[in-house]
Chain A
Amino acid sequence: MSLSISLTVNGAVRDVTLNDARVTLLDLLRERLALPGTKKGCDRGQCGACTVLIDGRRINACLTLAATLDGAEVTTIEGLACGDMLHPVQAAFIDHDGFQCGYCTPGQIMSAVGLIAEGRAGTDPERIREGMSGNLCRCSAYHGITEAVLDATTRIAAEKARKSA
């Protein structure tokens, strides 16, 4: 069966015809929309490498059927930076060495963006670690990741305070 959906990906409207309802958002992004920044790790919802935002909320793209996303707004790692200006979470991951091989990093960063937007972990490292537990890092860069999320939380809060002042 063929299905037509329209969704917004990183700010651009994309009209997609699926000839098969089995397509996941992860495969749609990587194979159809030329956005390979979102990674396929386990493809089973266990590693978090495929984390993206749907309508601002972090989810696992590997377990999300594309057919369900008509009208949705998707943000991937490719949609975070403004040109050469990195998103604060991206910058913080570099500053704090929040990765080694880098494969899980897009998922880590998208998860961190979602976590910070949820606004419940604050600057408590334990709550950040718990909030990031859906993202595995086999290089075990967890210390740097926690430091990066902590720092990005502070930077984003400062930026917000500056704007509202």
Chain B
Amino acid sequence: MNLFDYTRPASVEAAIAAWVPGAAWLGGGTNLVDLMKTGAMQPGKLIDVTRLPGLDRIETLPDGSTRIGAMVRNADLAHDAGFARAFPMVAEALLSGASGQLRNAATVGGNLMQRTRCAYFADPHSACNRRTPGAGCDARGGDTGGMAVLGWSPACIATNPSDFCVALAALEATVEVQGTGGKREIAFADFHRLPGDTPEIETALQPGELILALRLPAEAAQFAANSRYLKLRERTSYAFALVSAAAALRLDGGRIVAARLALGAVAAKPWRVASAEALLVGQAPEPALFARAAAEAVAGAAPSGENAHKIELARRIAVRALTAAAQGTPDRMPALPASVFGEPAHV
């Protein structure tokens, strides 16, 4: 690990003033400290934002939206009874990620900023355009089983590993940020970026901007009765997704009146396809319909290596998540969150 300065400012304003090029915000540290150990990240300064006042709250705003402070810990958000009741799919996504220990430390703001788990990114001895612009990409032609099948570019085939972000994308969260230029809001769809020719630019954050909070709009809670996050992984727990899907439906009189569908681990950002959602609206929730929507959601997918199987897995997990959502959100969080092997949702 490189040498760095450590500072813990007492206010958001002081934190923003403390930022210098090469500095990094320190939240739970579960991803950043790990990458500093490999040498993949070498910040000259860590600005500890975990104790900044006001960033650890979950609150309902007058417009009915839910505001989640960036320093709320993953475990605390997932287990907040009111939050989990309103947004069970988000809670399930959170609880399907990492371990009990890591969820106790990791922050929701940090989750948005977590880096790809591409092994070539984490290994400073491998060429990686995302880590070192122009260096090349050792992932291509390497171990590509987990790499992107949508939205990738010749420069980078890495995926975003977050579960939480898939559910947030489906529910159209917004991200509140503050920098030296003041506060602004970023729509979730615009927050993470596809690699193109500049994979090193991963998010819409400007240098020195800090995430203050996430907001879920009031209408996002209208999906509470019919929403699921499902995830395929190489072991039943404590593993990143091979593919995942967040599916949320609003049903009325046997018809779907609103639908959300986002795929995870298939691209450098949560993958949401408006035309797939549009196919669902106005229809009765049936297997053939879900198959059509899932096919639409992976339209344009192409293997970035030996990973064509992920396209089929993504299509299937989308069908499974839509089916589970239609059956109804489980009354209690499944013993194995997001698992396709858990108890059926509707029992």
Taking the closest CB of chain B, its distance from the CB of A74, in whole angstroms, is 13
Taking the closest CB of chain A, its distance from the CB of B58, in whole angstroms, is 17
We find that the number of chain A residues with CB closer than 8 angstroms to chain B is 36
- Nearest neighbor of A132 in chain B, beta-carbon distance: B100
Of B2-10, B59-67, B161-169, B211-219, the one touching chain A: B2-10
Is B26 located at the chain interface by the 8 A CB criterion? yes
Taking the closest CB of chain B, its distance from the CB of A146, in whole angstroms, is 13
Q: Is the interface of B mostly helix, strand, loop or mixed?
A: loop
- Nearest neighbor of A50 in chain B, beta-carbon distance: B101
B104/A65 in contact, CB under 8 A: no
B98/A134 in contact, CB under 8 A: yes
Among B8, B79, B105, B335, the residue within 8 A (CB) of A124 is B335
Is A51 located at the chain interface by the 8 A CB criterion? yes
A134/B48 in contact, CB under 8 A: no
Is A139 located at the chain interface by the 8 A CB criterion? no
Which B residues are CB-close (under 8 A) to A159?
none
Q: Is the interface of A mostly helix, strand, loop or mixed?
A: mixed
B30/A63 in contact, CB under 8 A: yes
Given A45-B34, A114-B100, A134-B98; A60-B6 close (CB under 8 Å): no
A20 to B105 Cα, complex, angstroms: 22
Is A84 located at the chain interface by the 8 A CB criterion? no
A131/B100 in contact, CB under 8 A: yes
Among A43, A45, A118, the residue within 8 A (CB) of B102 is A45
Is A155 located at the chain interface by the 8 A CB criterion? no
In the complex, chain A residues 24-67 whose Cβ is within 8 Å of any chain B Cβ: 24, 43-45, 48, 51, 57-60, 63-65, 67
- Nearest neighbor of B30 in chain A, beta-carbon distance: A63
Given A1-B5, A120-B79, A127-B335; A134-B37 close (CB under 8 Å): no
A134/B3 in contact, CB under 8 A: no
A20 to B4 Cα, complex, angstroms: 8
Which B residues are CB-close (under 8 A) to A134?
98-102, 238
Is B129 located at the chain interface by the 8 A CB criterion? no
Which A residues are CB-close (under 8 A) to B3?
20-22
Is A3 located at the chain interface by the 8 A CB criterion? yes
A48 to B46 Cα, complex, angstroms: 25
A59/B6 in contact, CB under 8 A: no
Is B127 located at the chain interface by the 8 A CB criterion? no
In the complex, chain B residues 92-149 whose Cβ is within 8 Å of any chain A Cβ: 98-102, 104-105
A124 to B336 Cα, complex, angstroms: 11
B100/A45 in contact, CB under 8 A: no
**Residue in B8, B28, B33 with the greatest tally of chain A CB atoms within 10 Å:** B33
A43/B37 in contact, CB under 8 A: yes
Q: Could you show 6 A-B contacts with beta carbons less than 8 Å apart?
A: A1-B5, A1-B6, A43-B37, A63-B105, A68-B48, A130-B335
